[in-house]
Amino acid sequence: MLEVVRELKYYKNVHARRLATGQSDLFGLVISEIANLYFPEVIRGFQAMAWERGLDVLLLNTEYSTERTQSVIRKLVESDVRGVAIMTSSIDDTATPALVEAGIGVVFCNLCSPDKLVSNITIDYHRGVLQAVEHVTALGHRRAAIISGPEISRAAANIRQALIAGLKQHGMAPFPVTSCDYHVDAGSSAVRDILSVPEIPTVIFCGSDLIAMGVMSALEEAGVRIPEDVSIVGIDDIPFASLSRPPLTTISVPREQLGITAFQALDKMLKLKRKKGAEYTLETNLVVRGSTAPATQKKL
């Protein structure tokens, strides 16, 4: 039978199948931007689970735009997706009614409590952040700064709050605490302000690895040595983190597992008679590399 299918070059008609089964074979995945190195592993995990079950994925990105976000929600409803994983903080739960009313299951990340047709995945940033704070404290650091992700990002706010709380628990009041976009050049610009303070910190916590790489580049240009003068800690553990010079100490977020869990959460919820959502948790962990070292005793 399969040989006949191949010989006739038969391809399934998804529209006919949808009419016959009354169900779409399409799942949505919404991210912030395809160029952000945080997302490829999320996409890979989600897509692998969908394809394993013979299902297709509609990938959409918001580009952090409110206007584009509205178009994304409309596209999901018009495409009759069975479920959607919203893995960007540029869409909040105001999108839920339009999706749920259309019978579309939704899984968010770090946003809301489970409900009918709504699940949530919490990334436990506190675990990895605490490990990072304990690590730099053991190295003798007492002056810390934070360059978090953008103000509008829920994930950035969660990480920033976890860092401030963790540092204060260990007797450090971080200064300065600033924010920037998730881009290398934004990290470079942000660290220049830190270099202008009278006594620069001995460790800088960055809201993403991309920010951290921008910070490292700007420090190198300013003649500040890493990690001899200033230690750097990132977050995400993107593939390039281990290739930076020095290799970046970072808080690892299990992004491929996030994609896998997002699909599994949707699949499980949609198979339930009452379509009741659930809460899931993923842990973060510190990966120690060469960008952290004992604190310098001299003032820069």
Q: In angstroms, what CA-CA distances link 295 with 103, 226, 242?
A: 55, 11, 22
Per-residue pLDDT of 220-234, as tens digits, reads 999 999 999 999 999
Closest CA to 88 of 138, 43, 23: 43
Q: What rounded mean pLDDT belongs to the chain?
A: 91
As a whole number, mean pLDDT of residues 274-291 equals: 97
Per-residue pLDDT of 43-92, as tens digits, reads 999 999 999 999 999 999 998 888 899 999 999 999 999 999 999 987 88
| Domain residue spans of the chain | 2-124+254-283, 125-253
Q: What percentage of the chain reaches a pLDDT higher than 70? A: 91
The DSSP bridge pattern shows strands 56-61 and 26-31 to be parallel
CATH number of the 2-124+254-283 domain: 3.40.50.2300
Q: What percentage of the chain reaches a pLDDT higher than 90? A: 78
Do the domains 2-124+254-283 and 125-253 sit in the same CATH topology, yes or no? yes
- Residues β-bridged to residue 109: 121
CATH number of the 125-253 domain: 3.40.50.2300
Per-residue pLDDT of 191-221, as tens digits, reads 988 888 888 999 999 999 999 999 999 999 9
pTM of the predicted structure, to 2 decimals? 0.89
For residue 8, how many other CB atoms are within 10 A of its CB?
8
As a whole number, mean pLDDT of residues 163-180 equals: 94
- Residues β-bridged to residue 138: none
288 Cβ neighbours under 8 A, 6+ residues apart: 135, 249
